[in-house]
Amino acid sequence: MTGCVSIRELGLLDYEPAWQAMQRFTNERGAETPDEIWFLQHNPVFTQGQAGKAEHLLFPGDIPVVQADRGGQVTYHGPGQLVVYLLLDVRRLGIGVRELVSLIEQGLIDLLADYGVQASARADAPGVYVEAAKIASLGLRIRHGRSFHGLALNLDMDLAPFRQINPCGHAGLAMTQLRDLVGPVDFNEVRDRLRQRLVERIGYTEQKTLTGGIQANEH
């Protein structure tokens, strides 16, 4: 078990200010800085990971495309999708990157089981799947032993933009969301449940909620 994690619930934000704030937090944190987990939603955006290839952007249309510094390929974020950024000192936690990915995936699987949905991870493609359809995507970056970026869980959103890309670099990959599996979902309830599942899986002994916004980079 480890110490305290700070939680921020940030609402609906554009992608780039949130991304810049993650970078700033990661660059400026010290050895004693508490880990933070941010819960939010994004306005519509496609993000390309470091391994992203242009051919997987089929026809982005009016949706902006951002070249991000996370792992993985292209994905879509939009309202109704729960995005969680994990700003963790993984070196201090004593876990490796692959183990962290597995803990996040298991937290998502635990959450979906709460709603009667049987989900699983895949060794060949990070994320969480319900049968052959993807319900949650993962993409992390580790810098100086600290993680940023995180996960995106489809709850109650417009899935159509996923058809404008090859999600996560996989042509024809089916996407699903919790609403289509169980009916209407309460966004805040799912957020609170996932918060608890992730805290348990990563092994924090305490959690506290921070108020106030986040600060983007000044450039």
CA atoms within 13 A on the CB side of 43: 11
Which of 159, 168, 190, 199 is the catalytic position?
168
> Is 138 annotated among the ligand-binding residues?
yes
The whole-angstrom separation of Cα 65 and Cα 74 is 9
> Is 152 annotated among the ligand-binding residues?
yes
Q: How far, CA to CA in Å, does 92 sit from each of 1, 33, 171, 202?
A: 12, 11, 38, 12
Whole-number CA gyration radius for the chain: 16
Pair of tokens at residue 62: 């009016």
> Is 183 annotated among the ligand-binding residues?
no
Instruction: Mark out the alpha helices in 133-218 (DSSP H runs).
Output: 178-182, 187-202
Pair of tokens at residue 107: 């937290």
> Is 61 annotated among the ligand-binding residues?
no
Is position 4 annotated as part of the catalytic site?
no
> Is 75 annotated among the ligand-binding residues?
yes
Residues 6 or more apart whose Cβ sits within 8 Å of residue 32 = none
> Is 71 annotated among the ligand-binding residues?
yes
The whole-angstrom separation of Cα 161 and Cα 215 is 29
Q: How far, CA to CA in Å, does 136 sit from each of 6, 19, 28, 141, 150?
A: 23, 19, 29, 17, 11
> Is 83 annotated among the ligand-binding residues?
no
What DSSP element (H or E) covers 27? Answer: helix 15-28
> Is 137 annotated among the ligand-binding residues?
yes
User: Can you say which residues are annotated as belonging to the binding site?
Assistant: 70-77, 137-139, 150-152
Residues recognised as catalytic: 168
User: Can you say which residues are annotated as belonging to the binding site for substrate?
Assistant: 70-77, 137-139, 150-152
